[in-house]
Structure 1
Amino acid sequence: MPNTESFNDNQKEISEEVRQSAEQARESAEQDRQFAENVRHLEEEVRQKNEKVRVESEKARESAEQAREYAEQAREYAEQARHEREQQQIILNEIQQTLKEIQARTSDAGL
C-alpha cells in the first residue's frame, strides 16, 4: 500500500500544480484581455485626437487663406486709393492752372 499512497500523493501534487497552472493561465488571459482593452481605448483616443488636430489644421489653413485674400483685397484697395489720389491731384493741378490763367487774363484786362 505504500506505493498506492505515494501514487495518490503524487497525483494530488500533480493535480494541485495543474490547478495552479490553470489559475495562472486564467489570470494571464485576464491580464492580456485588460491590456488589449487598454490598447483599444488608447488607439481610440489617438484617433480622436488626430481627427481633432486634422480639423483644427484645416480651420487654420482656411483662416490663413482668408487672411491672404483679405491682404490681397487691402493691397488692391490701397492701389485704387493711390490711383484716385493721383487723379485728384491731376485735377487739382488742372484747376490751379486754369485759375492762374484766369487770374492772368483778369489782371491783363485790368479787372
Structure 2
Amino acid sequence: MLLAFDTIPEEIVPHMRDGEGEVHLRKFSDPLMKVMNGTLPVGATIGMHTHETNSEVIYILSGRGKVLCDGVYEPLEPGSCHYCPKGHGHSLMNDGEEPLRFLAIVPEH
C-alpha cells in the first residue's frame, strides 16, 4: 500500500500530549499501526508520554531538535532514528532554528 502523504489532509494538533505549541500531522492509521508525517515548528514540543500498548520509531527528515527518553536527552538531526519501546516514555522537542520534520511509525503490540 502506498501512503501518499501529500494527499492526506493536514491536521493541526495544539499542545499534543500537553506539549508546547502545535504539531502539523498527516496521518494514516488502522487497528495495527499509525504512520505519521509531522512537522514541529520552532519551539514546539510533543509532551512526555508513555507507550503502554505500542512502541514508536521517529526518523528525522529535516531540522534539528532533541528527544527526552527515559530521562536521557538525545540530539536529533536529519537521518537520526529514535526508538521508544513499549513501556517507555519520551518527549520530542524542536529547539532548533527551523521546522523539525519527521516520520513516526507506531505499531500496536
Into which bin does the TM-score normalised by the smaller protein fall? under 0.3
TM-score normalised by structure 2 residue count: 0.10
TM-score normalised by structure 1 residue count: 0.10
Point out the structure with max Rg over C-alpha. 1
Higher relative contact order, structure no. (Cα contacts within 8 Å, ≥ 6 residues apart)? 2
Question: Which of the two has greater helix per residue?
Answer: 1
